[in-house]
Structure 1
Amino acid sequence: MQKNFIEIKYTQPGKSMQNGYIELFNRFFREDILDAYNFNHIYLLQKISDKWREDYNFNHPHKSLGNISPKEYMRRYED
């Protein structure tokens, strides 16, 4: 990986805020999916997770986009 100038940096144990974006995503996923449903089968978890992920990635407002959704951002800045 040195030829690509990539350096792997690991978070320190107990220092979750060194990777705050992942921690925020994990919190949303845990609250919206894992804590909200009782799963009888892994298929149900996968189905609900896929729907949630699609909504989160395309319809959820993102701070980095000026608090608009990626779909809205694409509509505004097409062409």
Structure 2
Amino acid sequence: EFIQPGKPMQNSYVERFNRTYRDEILNRYVFKTLSEVRAITEESMDEYNEERPHDALDDLTPFEYRMAHQQ
């Protein structure tokens, strides 16, 4: 199901991703090739998913959170 243009509250997760991607990737780099976009995006996703603390995880990285809750 698609969200209507100008209605970000219909899917806040997607809108949050779009904002973060725009702020942290698209607005910081000038890309010459699609390969550059892919490489920077992959690096950013790895950092976000493994190294960056998240408010929702009590300011732990996802890796730290996994380690703390494995048992």
TM band (smaller chain): 0.7 to 0.9
User: Which residue of structure 2 aligns with residue 49 of structure 1?
Assistant: 41
**Alpha-carbon distance, 1:50 to partner:** 0.3
Query: How many residues end up aligned between the 2 structures?
Result: 71
Rg larger in structure? 1
User: Which residue of structure 1 aligns with residue 63 of structure 2?
Assistant: 71
Q: Which has the higher mean CA deviation after the structures are superposed, 45-54 or 12-21? A: 12-21
Which structure is richer in relative contact order (CA contacts within 8 A, separation 6 or more)?
Answer: 2
Q: Which has the higher mean CA deviation after the structures are superposed, 52-61 or 28-37? A: 52-61
1:34 equivalenced with 2:26 (yes/no): yes
**Structure 1, unpaired ranges of 5+:** 1-8
**Structure 2, unpaired ranges of 5+:** none
Say which structure is richer in helix. Answer: 2
1:23 equivalenced with 2:23 (yes/no): no
For residues 31 and 51 of structure 1, the distance between their equivalents in structure 2, rounded to whole angstroms, comes to 15
